[in-house]
Amino acid sequence: MIEESNQTDLNQEISPGKLAWRRFLEHKPAVCSLVFLILIVVLSLAWPKISPYSATALGDAQFDPPGKNHWGGTDVHGRDLVSRIFDGARISLLVGLVGTMVSLVIGVVWGATAGYLGGRWDSMMMRVVDILYSLPSVIFVIVLITSLEGIFKKWLGMLNPSWGQNVRILFLFCGLGAVSWLTMARIIRGQVITLKTRGFVEAAEALGLSHGRILFRHIVPNLTGIIVVYLTLTIPSVILYESFLSYLGLGIQAPQASLGTLINEGARQINPVKIYWWLLALPGSFLVSTLVALNFLGEGLREAVDPLSEKK
Amino acid sequence: MRKLIIQRLLGIVPVLLLISVASFLLVKVAPGGPFASDRNVSPEIARNLEAKYHLDEPAWKQFLRYMGNLCRGDLGPSLKYRNHTVNDVIAQGLPVSILLGLSSYLFALGLGLSLGAFTALRRGSWQEHFGSLFSLLMVCIPGFVLGPALIMLFAVKWKLFPVALLESPWHLILPTITLGLFFAGKISRLFREGLRETLTSDFIRTARAKGAGERLILWRHCFKNAVLPVISYSGPLLADLFTGSFVVENIFQIPGIGVFMVNGATNRDYPMVVGLVLLYAVILLILNLLVDLAYGWLDPRVSYD
């Protein structure tokens, strides 16, 4: 009797997803980060509805320090900084998410194909990755974004000039995805090479399934854990990259804002006469805390999905 | 050993060729020319400019011409900064970038190694968590936040350091911190992982059993093993640092070559881009060779036969 109940208990606990979730909950910084990130997402989505100030509404009070009226102060045009930050965070997070997804798709398809085909194809495809690694990615992304812009201006500019802003974000998705997939491809390739020799792949081959089906229906789903982990670790680097590009003036452009452009605006207001610290400190610390939270989340997920990676 | 070095140096040549083809193509394929952003250029002048820089020729001819000049050590004229050749830009900017890069590297190494050792040795205590949080924070603060923040506090408010430019060692401090803090965080995490792994290995237990003190164990037995990941990270890191950082050079108005790399790409200044990318690749490949040699020296088990 007792043994039997133990047995069922064991069976219930054995679900790997549940085990991983439990391990995740034990990682306190990761759980706090998750709550924090959810809060940020909800707030940045809901803020325009709650706040009395629109992010783009110009006001009379220029450079108002943080106070009762404007919790985060105002900028050079009298716009409410808190509304601007949430506006920017929405775009930064969106770009981070979609850019990461693009890099995920490219990286998984490229890495999995190379690992699965093996041999000459594998070494050729990975050589491409090596070469792209040794080119400074800044150049690649700048050329990509400016040339996409040139092409789109020709085609879409005639159709509808007001699309400009949104098209810009689209370039960012592509450009950031195109430079961030290299590490993902390497990891996926390594995993596929070890999975390829496993019994279930052989079974699928024996059943006569096509290569594409074996690869994307049988092998890739086994990589979900590691993909999720690297996804959360790629998002902060993409957000950082986006801020950098916006800082260069290649990313989001006014009147739209991202965290990068807000920081840039704050940095430009530095002058020896009067210090407007909030313009730099608030978006800066918002960006840094988001990045820290995403990194903690990634670490927590890694320990949950792959407990062996934590060396005891 | 000498054979290895010669072999590796010869191996660099085809890689450089590939990289120059790739970066040349990249800039050529993109629409828009180097003179597209100049205002009020009449078609005749534009045509003359293009003829002067051979831009009216087919791309393969341009590439061959470029490679021919390259063999003679001439990286060509800059298409944007018309009174300068790419060689000039490198000759003027590279020493500055290397100076700043070296000081940032030393800063990152000092801070990173000590923080890494601090956290690895205080396993499980609040100090470890604090140290780890600190190293994560360093990785998460981008230069374009840190640089302006440092200027605002230390240069504008308290007037301890100069705001910008590079005239004395005193000017170097803020840019060094801005550039180096991120890498200090990376190095501290790498070194902590390395130390943790080494501290649990058998030969350390033997050393402890023989009664060696903790300090001796750390510096005599652990250090060489634990620092290996940091050494292999140093190759690409130094290559990055030596070729300059756009953000830091832009914020502190430092005349390095990082700015030219980014501006070259935005302006389609292809001799500039290809030249600087090649410079980066040469530095990277040489540093990687040095890293491998250092590896063999630190860890005699590694052999290159």
- pLDDT score of B62: 83
Higher pLDDT, B8 or A208: A208
- pLDDT score of B15: 82
Q: Is A221's Cβ below 8 Å from some Cβ in B?
A: no
Q: Do A139 and B29 touch (CB under 8 A)?
A: no
Contact, A84 vs A55, CB < 8 A?
yes
User: What number is the average pLDDT over the span B231-238?
Assistant: 90
- pLDDT score of B186: 93
Residue linked to tokens 């001799």: B271
Contact, B291 vs B299, CB < 8 A?
no
**pLDDT tens digit string along A28-53?**
889 999 999 999 999 999 888 887 77
Using CB atoms and an 8 Å cut-off, which of residues 246-275 of chain A contact chain B? Answer: 247-248, 250, 260, 263-264, 266-267, 270-272, 275
- pLDDT score of B40: 64
Nearest to B244 by CA among B143, B119, B149, B130: B143
Q: Which amino acid is at A251?
A: G
- pLDDT score of A162: 60
User: What number is the average pLDDT over the span B22-27?
Assistant: 80
Interatomic CA distance for residues A239 and A288, integer angstroms: 11
Interatomic CA distance for residues A268 and A75, integer angstroms: 11
Output the CA torsion sign for B120, B123, B127, B133: positive
Q: A92: Cβ–Cβ under 8 A, 6 or more apart, which residues?
A: A239, A242, A243, A258, A259, A260, A287, A290
- pLDDT score of B184: 96
- pLDDT score of B39: 61
What b/e string do you get for B72-96 counting C-beta neighbours within 10 Å, with b at 16 or more? eeebbbbbbbeeebbbebbeebbeb
**Scanning every residue of chain A, which has its alpha carbon at the shortest distance from the alpha carbon of B146?**
A284
DSSP states along B158-187: S--S-SS--SSHHHHHHHHHHHHHHHHHHH
- pLDDT score of B52: 78
User: What number is the average pLDDT over the span B256-275?
Assistant: 86
- pLDDT score of A103: 93
Structure tokens at B302: 């590694």
Q: Is B174's Cβ below 8 Å from some Cβ in A?
A: no
Q: How many Cα atoms occupy the beta-carbon half-sphere of A233 within 13 Å?
A: 17
Q: Do A135 and B23 touch (CB under 8 A)?
A: yes
**pLDDT tens digit string along B55-82?**
777 878 888 888 888 888 888 888 877 7
Nearest to B32 by CA among A204, A303, A144: A144
Does the pLDDT of residue A26 top 90, yes or no? no
Report if pTM > 0.80.
yes
Task: pLDDT band for A311, please (50, 70, 90 cuts).
Answer: very low
Q: pLDDT averaged over chain B?
A: 86
**Scanning every residue of chain A, which has its alpha carbon at the shortest distance from the alpha carbon of B141?**
A288
Which of A12-21, A228-237, B64-73, B87-96 is most confident? B87-96
Q: Do A139 and B277 touch (CB under 8 A)?
A: yes
Distance from the Cα of A197 to chain B's closest Cα (Å) equals 30
